Structures are given as structure tokens and as C-alpha cells.
């Protein structure tokens, strides 16, 4: 039921309705110069919000609604790691939108804040943020809390990361290995990555029990969740479970490292005395500083894996063996990742074939 009355020089509408608990409520708004304006506004409210409780819901902040949404729809439906990503989005949303209400969010405001976020984040991060927040706002649209989609046709941008070399050449690889202090946790991690091609989570997931010093092998059957700190977890794929052979120099360095550091058999090999395992940003910083000191082109930590694989291929190790050492799910993954190297080696092989055939006619 709608009623109108004049208050001073302005008109007001009053809509009576029942809330979700069956109790009568009143929705009022005044400030209209003409009665016709009040009638039009009330009609619009009733059209857009047949269930008038959603009008009140529009007063909830975007961040508050998002937090409730992830708790109801995501907490028990996704992995703890994925849920942590949703929680990170909530933190970013709080910084960008503050106490802005759902009903006050427009396409312009959304794009403006998204652009602000993009100034200090990579395009991929911005895209993930937008995807998660948009899913929540579409739910608000379905509930008729908002009447239009403020995220529609949003433009995704982001900062361009400086180009970094994919891998080290053989000379720089050797130079790095010879100048690492493998008694230090960070530099020993870097050394292992360079000589095994293991993923970071696999390396920091190693325990003393995974190291067979007599057989010169490392057993990879788990990883460590260094990012979200949930402890040991499964390897990236079932094929990532493998045994990696290492050389005598690596065995010697591991023996020395274990001797220096007091370690229990079931804790990660590279966990410090305070129970902390370096996160990716920390190990990349250590690696970058080391490369700067040695005047070697900068690569990421993952670039050590590419370096290891590239050197093995250039030195004549078969693609199949490299694939198994890296823990790829199939040889096709290795071939596609290192196609440029394989093509270069094939070209060299063609020269060898011609040379062999020509020598047979002499």
C-alpha cells in the first residue's frame, strides 16, 4: 500500500510492506517538489523491487555483502587455498570500495576503482579480482538488491611486468652454482632447483626422510603449501611423484646442510628455527640479489627449472628423460615447453646426419 503526503514544501511517499518475518514495515522517502515525482519514484521502487526487503538490503556495503556471499557459497565448496584467494579479494575490495553501499555502486565507480587496482597489479591479478567480485554482484542482481550489473563490459588492464630472461646460459648457470653458500637455507634451495629442476613447493616439501644419501636420490612425493601455509599437500600432478638422481657434489652439500641445521625427520628440510618456510617472494628476492652481485641476467626462481631442463637438452639428454626428471604429466608437455630448443637440436642433428652420409662415400 502506498500513501502520499505533503511535508512543508515537499512531497513524501510511504510504502507499507511485510518483511521476511511477516512484520509490517514502512519505506519512506521525501524531498519531491511535485506529487507526480513522488508517485513516479514510488512506482519505480515497486517495479524494481517487488519484494521490498531488497531495498533495505541495498544499504549493505559491497564488502559486507561479499564476505557473507563467500561464506555461504564458497567456504564449504572450494579448497582452503581457493577460499583464501576469495578472502584476499575481500581485503582488496575493502581498500577500494570502503563502506560504499550496494545501491550506490555504478558502472563508472566500479571501472574507476578497477583502474585504481590495476595501477599496482598485473593484468592477471586484476582479472581474478574482477571475476570473483563480479560473481558476487551478479548474485545481488539475481536477488534484485541491485537493478543493473555494474560490472558489465568492465575493461581489464594491469601493469606490465619488466621482461625477465627465461633461463640462464650454461656459463652463468655454472657461475651461480660455484658462488652459492649452501649452508644458508635460501641459497641451498636455489642450488637444488638449479641441479634438479624441481618446483619450489617440491623443494620446500622435502624432509630428511626424502633424502637417500647412499643412493644419491631425492624422493618427491609431496609438496609444501608455502603460500597459504596449510602444511604438506599433494604434488601438482600424480606424475610429479618421482625419484630424482643427484650428483656427488649435491650429496656432499646436503650432508653438510643437515649437519649444520638441527632438523627433525618429519619437518620440512628448509623450515627455519622459528617454523617459517620462505615464500616465493622471499626466495625470488634472494635469487635476484645473488644474480645482481654476480652480474648475471635476472631470472625468476621458476627460471632455474627452465635452465636445468634447457641445459640437459643441449647436452644431449633425451626429451623423455628430461620429462620424467621434471615430473611432467607427459612428454608432450616437455616438447611444447622447450620446442625452440628441440628445433635447434634437430637442426644440428640434420647436419650430423649429412656429415655421416657424406663420409660413407669416401
What residues contact residue 39 under an 8 Å CB cut-off, 6+ apart? 4, 13
Cα atoms found within 13 Å of the Cα of residue 29, Cβ hemisphere only: 15
Strand-pair partners of 25: 17
Instruction: Determine the pLDDT at residue 17.
Output: 67
The dihedral built from the CA positions of residue 230, 231, 234 and 235, taken in this order, carries a sign that is positive
What residues contact residue 89 under an 8 Å CB cut-off, 6+ apart? 66, 128, 129, 132, 133
> What is the rounded CA–CA span in Å between residue 118 and residue 99?
20
Instruction: Determine the pLDDT at residue 313.
Output: 94
Span 236-280, pLDDT tens digits: 889 999 999 999 999 999 999 999 997 778 899 999 989 999 999
> What is the rounded CA–CA span in Å between residue 118 and residue 18?
43
Output the pTM of the full model: 0.64
Nearest CA-CA partner of 110 in 155, 168, 173: 155
Name residues of the chain where pLDDT drops below 70. 17-22, 46-57, 163, 360-362
Instruction: Determine the pLDDT at residue 49.
Output: 58
Angle at alpha carbon of residue 228, lines to 223 and 232, rounded to 5°? 25
Cell numbers placing 255: 650432508
CA distance to 108, 124, 330, per residue, from 159 (Å): 21, 10, 34
For the sheet containing 217-220, what is the strand order? 211-212, 217-220, 242-245
Instruction: Determine the pLDDT at residue 131.
Output: 96
Tell me if 169 sits within 8 A of 266, measured CB to CB: no
Span 179-224, pLDDT tens digits: 999 999 999 999 999 999 999 999 999 999 999 999 999 999 999 9
Dihedral angle, C-alpha 197, 202, 207, 210, nearest 10 °: -60
> What is the rounded CA–CA span in Å between residue 199 and residue 235?
10
> What is the rounded CA–CA span in Å between residue 93 and residue 129?
9
Instruction: Determine the pLDDT at residue 57.
Output: 63
Instruction: Determine the pLDDT at residue 139.
Output: 93
Instruction: Determine the pLDDT at residue 44.
Output: 76
> In this structure, what are the phi and psi dihedrals at residue 146, rounded to the nearest 5 degrees?
-120, 155
Tell me if 151 sits within 8 A of 114, measured CB to CB: no
Q: What is the DSSP letter of 17?
A: E
Amino acid at each position: 500500500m502506498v500513501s502520499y503526503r505533503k511535508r512543508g514544501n515537499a512531497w513524501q511517499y510511504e510504502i507499507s510492506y511485510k518483511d521476511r518475518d511477516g512484520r509490517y514495515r514502512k519505506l519512506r522517502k521525501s524531498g519531491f517538489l511535485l506529487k507526480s515525482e513522488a508517485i513516479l519514484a514510488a512506482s519505480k521502487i515497486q517495479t524494481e523491487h517487488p519484494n521490498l526487503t531488497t531495498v533495505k538490503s541495498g544499504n549493505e556495503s559491497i564488502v559486507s555483502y561479499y564476505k557473507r556471499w563467500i561464506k555461504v557459497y564458497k567456504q564449504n565448496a572450494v579448497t582452503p587455498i581457493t577460499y583464501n584467494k576469495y578472502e584476499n579479494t575481500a581485503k582488496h575490495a575493502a581498500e577500494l570500495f570502503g563502506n560504499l553501499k550496494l545501491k550506490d555502486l555504478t558502472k563508472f565507480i566500479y571501472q574507476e576503482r578497477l583502474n585504481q587496482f590495476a595501477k599496482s597489479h598485473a593484468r592477471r591479478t586484476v582479472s581474478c579480482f574482477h571475476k570473483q567480485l563480479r560473481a558476487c554482484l551478479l548474485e545481488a542482481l539475481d536477488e534484485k538488491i541491485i537493478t543493473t550489473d555494474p560490472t558489465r563490459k568492465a575493461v581489464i588492464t594491469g601493469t606490465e611486468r619488466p621482461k625477465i630472461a627465461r633461463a640462464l646460459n650454461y656459463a652463468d648457470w655454472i657461475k651461480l652454482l660455484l658462488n652459492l653458500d649452501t649452508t644458508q637455507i635460501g641459497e641451498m634451495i636455489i642450488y637444488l632447483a638449479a641441479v634438479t629442476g624441481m618446483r619450489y613447493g617440491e623443494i620446500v616439501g622435502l624432509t630428511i626422510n626424502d633424502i637417500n644419501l647412499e643412493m644419491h636420490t631425492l624422493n618427491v612425493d609431496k609438496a609444501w603449501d608455502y603460500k597459504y601455509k596449510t602444511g604438506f599437500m599433494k604434488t601438482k600432478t600424480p606424475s610429479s611423484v618421482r625419484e630424482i638422481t643427484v650428483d656427488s657434489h649435491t650429496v656432499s652439500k646436503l650432508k653438510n646442510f643437515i649437519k649444520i641445521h638441527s632438523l627433525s625427520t618429519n619437518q620440512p628440510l628448509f623450515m627455519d628455527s622459528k617454523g617459517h618456510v620462505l615464500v616465493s617472494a622471499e626466495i625470488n628476492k634472494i635469487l635476484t640479489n645473488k644474480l645482481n652481485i654476480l652480474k648475471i641476467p635476472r631470472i625468476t626462481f621458476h627460471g632455474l627449472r627452465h635452465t636445468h631442463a634447457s641445459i640437459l637438452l643441449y647436452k644431449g639428454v633425451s626429451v623423455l628423460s628430461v620429462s620424467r626428471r621434471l615430473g611432467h604429466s607427459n612428454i608432450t608437455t616437455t616438447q611444447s615447453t622447450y620446442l625452440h630448443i628441440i628445433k635447434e637440436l634437430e637442426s644440428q642433428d640434420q647436419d650430423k646426419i649429412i656429415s655421416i652420409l657424406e663420409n660413407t662415400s669416401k
